Amino acid sequence: MVTLGCARNEVDSEELAGRLSADGWQLVDADQDADVVVVNTCGFVESAKQDSVDTVLSAADTGAKVVAVGCMAERYGNELAEHLPEADAVLGFDHYPTLASRLEDVLAGRKVESHAPVDRRTLLPITPVQRPKAAEEVSLPGHGWVGGARPVRRRLDDSPLAPLKLASGCDRRCSFCAIPSFRGAFVSRPAEEVLGEAAWLAEQGVRELFLVSENSTSYGKDLGDVRALERLLPRLAAVPGIDRVRVSYLQPAETRPGLVRAIATTPDVVPYFDLSFQHASETVLRRMRRFGSTDSFLALIEQIRGLAPRAGIRSNVIVGFPGETEEDLAELERFLTEARLDAVGVFGYSDEDGTEAAGFDGKLDADTVAERVSRISALVDEVTAQRAEERVGEEVEVLVGQAESDEEDCLGWAAHQAPEVDGECVVTGGSGLAVGDLVRARVVEAAGVDLVVEPLEVLPRDRT
């Protein structure tokens, strides 16, 4: 099983691995001979699509059968199969409940019909939710009610952090984003189902839950409770064995004061805010079909820091959007300078198939977009490094994610850092520490967004 893309895909892969194991398939490591390689593709941006194609080609070179699943396979289906004959099958989300049978067909040389793409927003109503009653009606990754029982999930690594899916799909219609068309309308998982999976993950040694979805601020809307996430967070934090709960992907315009307070002040919920600003110019935001402005975003950040001064705040921005002017870019620079975020991903705009923005006028040439990406990236590097420098001297709690017995230092992440995207902590003199240890430490140095920390004590598991 090879997983590309985001943490939501990681959950999908673990559910597929669980289904396949239950049906008699044996999961092997990447360096072992396999009968079939399942590639869980990403279809988010052009570079991710190319990575997916390259991975399929590399897997085919091993001599194994190759089956492509995931977002790119769902999005392009039979078109991808036509242009990528190295894949023995290209399967969509609706194939997930019967994936074992499809793999058997592939091994036996039987033809497997490629997935036929469909706009998944049409498969389920936005609200109220009508739960599918049988697997053959519709299958959405991460939705345990399909077929009447929660799929078995099998962990694919031994990390002390695990993603936990809150929902699937998105009801927003951002003009640059194709995700709703292949992930479908937003559908929340029932709270008891989420809590049950959290308890199972704790039994597997997980100490930190990373709540993922396409838009976590929408959680519960389709269940008739706009405050569902606020109510769920303390219950997740109280699950035995769980020491930290982290929420990803919040829409600024939907981040209500009650949710801010719940994330900022609930014990064992880390004060971490992954806010999808995307831009700060009102003009650009409206063309993106989004809401907000520099002043409203700064007010939200002030609200957060009023409750949790050392909260981690990260975001992504898109530059070079059609029609973006120098004045718009200057407004984004003003926002980033005043916001002092902990981490920012900077992306240059490119057309995405089937999106509204692909038909917009005012497109900027590639050189202009690249120059603006470089300009904003330089500013981001400066302000995020300053923010990290401000943390020197303070105490942080670091969850160890990488430790070698023959190395003096080990690596982990503090409450304001999400692994792989927000920098990391280098724990000096941590040779006696193990993966999964939660360590109180003092920050002694900053190197860009990374911190160097000295351990003070190892904290007990499940301090509640």
How confident is the model over 51-77, as pLDDT tens digits? 999 999 999 999 999 999 999 999 999
> Residue 170 annotated as binding?
yes
Does 426 score more than 50 pLDDT?
yes
Question: What pLDDT was estimated at residue 462?
Answer: 66
pLDDT band at 230 (very low <50, low <70, confident <90, very high): very high
SS3 89: strand
Residue 112 exposure: Cα atoms within 13 Å on the Cβ side: 28
Does 125 score more than 60 pLDDT?
no
Alpha-carbon distance 305 to 326, whole Å?
Answer: 30
Sequence-ordered list of residues with C-beta below 8 angstroms from that of 27, at least 6 positions apart, any chain: 1, 17, 20, 21, 154, 156
Structure tokens given for 406: 């023959």
Does 363 score more than 70 pLDDT?
yes
Tell me which amino acid residue 452 is. V
- Residue scoring higher pLDDT (287 or 124): 287
Alpha-carbon distance 435 to 427, whole Å?
Answer: 12
Residue range 140-157, pLDDT digits in tens:
444 443 333 454 799 999
pLDDT band at 119 (very low <50, low <70, confident <90, very high): confident
String of DSSP letters for 399-439: EEEE--TT-S-EEEE-TT--TTTS--EEETT-TT--TT-EE
Q: What's the pTM value of the predicted model, to 2 decimals? A: 0.91
Per DSSP (E only), the strands in 254-341 are 272-274, 312-319
> Residue 425 annotated as binding?
no
Question: What pLDDT was estimated at residue 147?
Answer: 36
Quote the DSSP letter at residue 149: S
Average of per-residue pLDDT across 117-129: 61
> Residue 177 annotated as binding?
yes
Q: Is the peptide bond before 128 cis (omega within 30 degrees of 0)?
A: yes
Residue range 306-333, pLDDT digits in tens:
999 999 999 999 999 999 999 999 999 9
Alpha-carbon distance 360 to 321, whole Å?
Answer: 10
What percent of the chain lies above the pLDDT cut of 90? 82
Find, among 428, 448, 449, the residue nearest to 439 by Cα: 428
pLDDT band at 123 (very low <50, low <70, confident <90, very high): low
Count of beta carbons in the 10 Å neighbourhood of residue 295: 12
Question: What pLDDT was estimated at residue 124?
Answer: 53
What percent of the chain lies above the pLDDT cut of 70? 93
Question: What pLDDT was estimated at residue 108?
Answer: 95
Residue range 254-283, pLDDT digits in tens:
999 999 999 999 999 999 999 999 999 999
Average of per-residue pLDDT across 206-222: 95
